[in-house]
Structure 1
Amino acid sequence: MRAERHWRSALEVSRLALEAGALVPLSTRLITDPALSPFLLRELTGLPPRHLRSPGPRPNPFLPWDQPLEVGRLGTRHVLLLNKYPVQAAHLLVITPEWQPQSGWLRPLDWQAVAEVAADTGGLWFFNSSATAGASQPHRHLQLLPRHAGQPSCPLAPLLLGQLAGERSTWPWAYRLSRRQDPQGGSDLSGLYARHCRDLELGDSAQDGAPLQAYNLLFDDEWFLTVRRDREHQAGFSINGLGFAGCLLSTAGSDRDWLLRHGPWALLEAVATPGSVIPRLRRLD
């Protein structure tokens, strides 16, 4: 059983940051419709985050980061930070204190920081490699939505586990899905990441200066998923890694009628690289 100290600290820091005005939770409501199952669709009912309201260059929110949002340090190379605009309480970010591009390769030190947090607090991790994959900031950050032991990490987790067990069909887009081998979030992550990147023809960190294509990473204690991306949006919906976890957000510009007519699976298929581009990618571990 994990101690969940990071999670408890994040909730306390959230309380103080909310009182100080540094934390700005998003106001949403859950939209229920059988056509959406098993996805969860939330509608943004308040103003969008400040960084999405104005066009043009945006200041880097992590250089420097808001001190009231800091949960703790992870060695000397990473910081555990609250997401300033969360939907879920204690939405955590692992950031680099110095500039590192979101569009660059994740390095062993990044995975060590993830492993340090994961050994204490479990949940759904995700990473958006660039704006095409739904990243809203260009500074390196991985994200964690904490979950207690025994809780599903996301709406699509049962389907992912079913695929790994051979009980579910594969998806039509380019992706790789593997079992996690170390339930404490250990050293398998770096190897899985490198293998998925090679298999999806995203490149090789030993040979390529940066990944060759946009992608999303999602993982929990049991599985590790990489999805190759072609575009960021469809029908007014901005899709980041959480879309492939089964979590969607509707804003004023979203065409919800399109979503209900075509279904959320069509939304994901529209933004991911078709599996036919690299046929062997539909093979599972």
Structure 2
Amino acid sequence: MGQFLDAALERSLQAERCGALVPLETEVVPLAGCEPFVLRRLLSETPKHLRSAGPKPNPFLPWDPALEVACLSREHVLILNKFPVQRGHVLLIPQRWQPQSGWLSPLDWQALAAVEADTPGLWFFNSCAAAGASQPHRHLQLLPRQASEPSCPLAAACVEQLQGQQQAWPWNYRLSPRLHAGTGDAAAELLELYHRHQSELGLGAPHQQPQPQHPYNLILEPNWFMTVVRTREHWAGMSINALGFAGCLLITPESDTAWLQQHGPMALLAAVAGSSR
């Protein structure tokens, strides 16, 4: 795999021993009619970031040194997700305060491209609390993947859409192919796709608005880049972040699984995303 994943796994062992890392225990829930979505039931105590609460402290300024994987530059650092469902789940964060609700910068995309060139996988971003973000300090998230492993349950459907073999989903989003992942042109391509999607979806532009005009999610992997406009964070007792649009749902004690089984995951996503235009 890559040196960043190796470092993340080694750091995970150390951090778990000292209590800095708190892996969440889950089990896969087979729910008829929900394929190809993967549903996991949370068996551990619900972590604070999934509970409704008041203002949250910033755990990234400063970040816990026990969770640090690599200092990428004077601007960015790679740290472990404190409450991972998957081993090696890392966060790319700026070393100085940057708001989650602000525009992602060229430096953010340069840092992401540098990590991806070594350790590919599924990246996702929740633009604010209404899009599933648990913290106000900017953080992009990576779930590393092996070369032969699908990035997410909906990866094949995304490729089929790009090839014209599947109908578009009924919400407001953009899905584009990536041609330069892992190359020196990756950062520029990512920045161009990000700005183009934001403009086409009515989210605005950095030179016109101080921040995007609506909540949104980003999901990307080496073959494609997707942006989804959001209208709300919860539905049927389920908290939906960007991973929902990748085909991954987390069931907690508050989740209405009867509603989910009756209506299906696509209706759940349609309920929290803007309708297509």
Which TM-score band applies after superposition, normalised by the shorter structure?
Answer: over 0.9
1:221-260 deviation per Cα after TM superposition (whole angstroms, max 9, x unaligned): 0000000000001000000000000000011111000000
Aligned-residue CA RMSD in angstroms? 1.0
AA paired with 1:273? G
1:10-68 deviation per Cα after TM superposition (whole angstroms, max 9, x unaligned): 00000000001000011111101231100000011110113445722221000111110
Runs (4+) of structure 1 exceeding 4 A deviation are none
1:45 alignment partner, one of 43, 46, 51: 43
| Residues 94-173 of structure 1: pairs in structure 2 closer than 5 A | 94-173=92-171
| Residues 186-225 of structure 1: pairs in structure 2 closer than 5 A | 186=186, 187-225=188-226
Rounded Cα–Cα distance in structure 1 between residues aligned with 2:28 and 2:21: 21
Rounded Cα–Cα distance in structure 1 between residues aligned with 2:168 and 2:52: 39
How many pairs are equivalent? 274
- Per the alignment, do residues 268 and 108 of structure 1 end up closer, same or farther by CA in structure 2, a change over 3 Å counting? same
- Per the alignment, do residues 36 and 27 of structure 1 end up closer, same or farther by CA in structure 2, a change over 3 Å counting? same
Rounded Cα–Cα distance in structure 1 between residues aligned with 2:192 and 2:61: 30
Q: 3-state SS of the aligned residue for 2:192?
A: helix
| Residues 270-285 of structure 1: pairs in structure 2 closer than 5 A | 270-275=271-276, 279=277
1:154-192 deviation per Cα after TM superposition (whole angstroms, max 9, x unaligned): 000000000000000001000000000102161200000
Q: 3-state SS of the aligned residue for 2:33?
A: helix
TM-score (norm 1): 0.94
Q: 3-state SS of the aligned residue for 2:135?
A: coil
Aligned-residue offset at 1:150: 2.4
Match of 2:262 in 1: 261
AA paired with 2:203? L
Q: 3-state SS of the aligned residue for 1:218?
A: strand
Match of 2:248 in 1: 247
Rounded Cα–Cα distance in structure 2 between residues aligned with 1:202 and 1:150: 35
AA paired with 2:224? W
1:91-114 deviation per Cα after TM superposition (whole angstroms, max 9, x unaligned): 010001111100000000000100
Q: 3-state SS of the aligned residue for 1:274?
A: coil
Q: 3-state SS of the aligned residue for 2:78?
A: strand
Q: 3-state SS of the aligned residue for 1:25?
A: coil
AA paired with 1:208? Q
AA paired with 1:249? L
AA paired with 2:259? W
Match of 1:22 in 2: 20
AA paired with 2:101? S
TM-score (norm 2): 0.97
- Does the aligned pair in 1 maintain the 2:157–2:166 contact within 8 Å? yes
